């Protein structure tokens, strides 16, 4: 699978997003082929990735000769040139790559990519904008993951007003319909903490629940 160690990834487009993604995959222990039509970018990345190739990804022959179909996952990270993004996505999909992830710049671009059969469409700028907005509005929010349109998991730092209280004192399940599923303390993580678990300022709690519930919890404690 693409989650195991040593998977083979192909990143097409080594702009700001693609190069950062590719470097992080290498950092996580995976093999990465980076492709870009810009010779300069390929040169810059050649010592950082497993392999780099200067090629035009809208050239079907070039893609085939690189053996794209043998990769576990291919990420198309072309933003500015929507035509190149769409053409690359369909060519890579037709090669038979198991998992094709494509970066979209607009909702419409994303809808086209979904219709072409992209396995996952990502919107880095849109999602980062949303994430940063949440963090600006609620200073205790460190990060959150949307599970569905109604439910999320959020990482919150324990504010001073909750320091010394137990989970039973706070009772988030009853008050907010949320559960604290983990508490990260300086000396380790407590998974599925018990009701008598005491929170201290600067601990990090991981909370799961409805978006509304998490929001009111955040508001009440900040
Ligand atoms: P970012 O916002 O992440 O920097 P860009 O859209 O600016 O994204 O960068 C996309 C990269 O994709 C650029 O480096 C560009 O050279 C590359 N690219 C665009 N079209 C092609 C193509 N047909 N084949 C290969 N690389 C391409």
CA-nearest residue, atom 15 of ligand 1? 13
Residues 202 and 105 in one domain: no
CA-based diameter of the chain, in Å? 65
Ligand 1 neighbour 22 (Cβ under 6 A): no
CA 87 to ligand 1: nearest atom: 23
Residues 174 and 204 in one domain: yes
Report yes or no on 42 lying in a domain.
yes
For residue 2, being part of any structural domain is answered with no
Note the Cα 80 to chain centre separation in Å: 21
> Which residue among 94, 122, 150 closes a domain?
122
Contact assessment for residue 12 and residue 37, using Cβ atoms and an 8 Å cutoff: no
35, 12 contact by CB (below 8 A):
yes
**Ligand 1 and 76: CB distance under 6 A:** no
Q: Are residues 95 and 110 in the same domain?
A: yes
Q: Is the CB of 16 under 6 A from ligand 1?
A: yes
C-alpha dihedral (33, 39, 44, 50), degrees to nearest 10: 20
Say yes or no: CB of residue 45 within 6 Å of ligand 1: no
When pLDDT is cut at 50, 70 and 90, the band that residue 58 belongs to is: very high
Domain boundary among 65, 91, 122: 122
- Best CA proximity match to 13, nearest among 126, 102, 105: 102
The pTM score is 0.81
Total domains in the chain come to 2
pLDDT tens digits for 121-176? 999 999 999 888 888 888 888 888 889 989 999 999 999 999 999 999 999 999 99
Q: Kindly report, residue by residue over 78-101, the tens digit of the pLDDT.
A: 999 999 999 999 999 999 999 999
Whether residues 71 and 151 fall in one domain:
no
Quote the percentage of the chain above a pLDDT of 90: 84
Q: Which domain holds residue 213?
A: 127-221
**How far away, in angstroms, is 56 Cα from ligand 1 center?**
10
Q: Reading across the β-sheet that carries 99-103, which strands appear in turn? A: 51-54, 31-36, 8-12, 73-76, 99-103, 120-122
Mean pLDDT of 191-197: 95
């Amino acid at each position: 699978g693409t989650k195991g160690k040593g998977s083979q990834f192909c990143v097409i487009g080594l702009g700001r997003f693609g190069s950062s993604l590719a470097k992080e995959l290498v950092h996580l222990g995976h093999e990465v082929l980076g492709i870009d039509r810009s010779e300069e970018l390929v040169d810059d990345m050649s010592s950082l990735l497993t392999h780099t190739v200067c090629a035009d990804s809208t050239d079907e022959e070039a893609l085939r000769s690189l053996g794209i179909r043998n990769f576990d996952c291919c990420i198309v990270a072309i933003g500015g040139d929507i035509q190149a993004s769409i053409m690359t996505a369909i060519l890579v999909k037709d090669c038979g790559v198991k998992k094709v992830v494509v970066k979209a710049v607009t909702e419409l671009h994303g809808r086209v990519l979904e219709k072409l059969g992209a396995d996952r469409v990502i919107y880095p700028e849109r999602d980062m904008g949303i994430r940063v907005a949440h963090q600006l509005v609620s200073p205790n929010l460190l990060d959150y993951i949307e599970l569905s349109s109604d439910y999320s998991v959020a990482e919150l730092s324990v504010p001073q007003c909750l320091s010394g209280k137990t989970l039973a004192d706070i009772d988030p399940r009853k008050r907010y319909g949320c559960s604290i599923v983990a508490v990260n303390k300086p000396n380790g993580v407590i998974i599925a903490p018990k009701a008598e678990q005491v929170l201290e300022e600067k601990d990090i709690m991981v909370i799961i629940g409805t978006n509304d519930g998490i929001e009111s919890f955040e508001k009440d404690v900040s």
